A = this chain, B = another copy of it.
């Protein structure tokens, strides 16, 4: 697990390895909530315990997986801002380490993933509202169609309200207001 075997005995190494493995396992598993693969979650766990930034080759060795997989895994985590690329002079390999500010990770996740979902939804909903309103205003629309359209419109309006709320919630996460309501531990 990337630990120097020279300076301690095999038994101690085993114990640390076992503890880490269990933590990595559960952290990795629950990362599926962020929509990442189990193995990408494990990669994250590996980086979490690494005492220094790691290269793709090192990750591949530890994970017993191809460098290609490490490359794609790391990129996923970069997109989620869960790991950072680190520069170290002298090395021309790319180095990566986890973002240890998990509050930041959490709020970034919403700012990235949820925001774009909310925006695209709102856009489509607004367009649908417009179109329905146009139809309701038209002479040619039958009474029966009016009924259907009005019910749809009401539903869509409700959905819009919800998405606007979600948008504001994401704002509150992005600008840290959320920590007024639910404070961090010191």
Secondary structure dominating the interface of A: helix
| A12 located at the interface, meaning its Cβ lies under 8 Å from any Cβ of chain B in the complex | yes
Task: Kindly report how many copies of this chain are found in the complex they form together.
Answer: 2
> In whole Å, how far is A50's beta carbon from the nearest beta carbon of chain B?
10
Contact B33 A131 (CB under 8 A): no
- Residues A12 and B142 in contact, CB atoms below 8 Å apart: yes
| Docked CA distance A127–B21 (Å) | 13
Residues in chain B near residue A103, CB distance under 8 A: 162, 165
Q: Are A161 and B135 in contact (CB under 8 A)?
A: no
- Assembly CA distance A26 to B132 (angstroms): 17
**Of B29, B100, B152, B185, the contact of A49 (CB 8 Å cutoff):** B152
Contact B148 A168 (CB under 8 A): no
**Extra inter-chain contacts (9) besides given A22-B128, A26-B120, A169-B182, CB under 8 Å:** A3-B148, A8-B145, A27-B121, A29-B120, A33-B114, A106-B162, A161-B184, A168-B182, A181-B181
